[in-house]
Amino acid sequence: MRREPDWTYAKALLLLLLALLLPAPSAAADLDSILASLTERYSSVKALSADFTQETIAKGAKRGEVSKGKVWFKRPGKMRWVYETPVTDEITGNGKYVWIFQPDINQVIEKPVDNAYPSITTDFLGGIETLKKDFKITLAKAGTESYLLNLEPLAPDAGIRRIAVGIDRKSGFIVKTVAEDPLGGSTTVRFERIRTNAEAPDSIFEFKPPKGATVVRP
């Protein structure tokens, strides 16, 4: 009597080949759900504050410059970065203008908000809700504790080559950003002790140059 062949191995091999050759919709679905959760998490946040550590590395440099301080964000488009070490610079934005104050040389750089740049760079809270408008987004990594998204600007003159965004799985908050500039340098910012909807008066997002300061308007 003729014995029927065992197709178990052949079926397993066929399924493996199909898995390798056919596009996997799960990655896109996961990305969509991550973005939806991220948007929902921040939609109720009117103000946010955190401690931050920033490391800036120029192209070709082996070591970067590390700074620490505190940051505040508030809708719409307001921000304030206070650097505490190693310098005491300040960056203040009221949604219309951005001021960069360098106390050691008593200089203020005043710039209007440029709509040509991705909104997340000048409006952190509002920019999260419009990421798809400004970036091509891919899921770079889905770890057990965090997600890593890769954001490539859609605008050709965005001033940024790429932004990587790290999202904590447990809290749903962005805990790290890595921005790469067109020259090959990078700035990494890590957020800790994130606090939401704490009191943040509008006055802290306005800046008046101190007496005797040089004001530069590029």
Range of the domain at 170: 37-208
**In this structure, is residue 1 part of a structural domain?**
no
**In this structure, is residue 138 part of a structural domain?**
yes
Query: What is the spatial distance between Cα 11 and Cα 186, in angstroms, rounded to a whole number?
Result: 48
Q: What is the pLDDT of residue 65?
A: 94
Site of tokens 């009221």: 94
Per-residue pLDDT of the chain (218 residues; tens, 9 = 90+): 444 444 443 444 444 343 333 343 445 559 999 999 999 999 999 999 999 999 999 988 888 999 999 999 999 999 999 999 999 999 999 999 999 999 999 999 999 998 767 788 888 999 998 899 999 999 999 999 999 999 999 987 778 899 999 999 999 999 999 999 999 999 999 999 999 998 899 999 999 999 999 999 98
Q: What is the pLDDT of residue 63?
A: 86
Q: What is the pLDDT of residue 121?
A: 82
Query: Could you tell me the CATH number of the domain that includes residue 50?
Result: 2.50.20.10
Contacts of 3 (CB under 8 A, 6+ apart): none
Q: What is the pLDDT of residue 157?
A: 72
Q: What is the pLDDT of residue 148?
A: 97
**In this structure, is residue 14 part of a structural domain?**
no
- How many domains does one find in the chain? 1
Asked if residues 150 and 141 have their Cβ atoms less than 8 Å apart, the reply is: no
**In this structure, is residue 5 part of a structural domain?**
no
Structural Rg of the chain based on CA atoms: 23
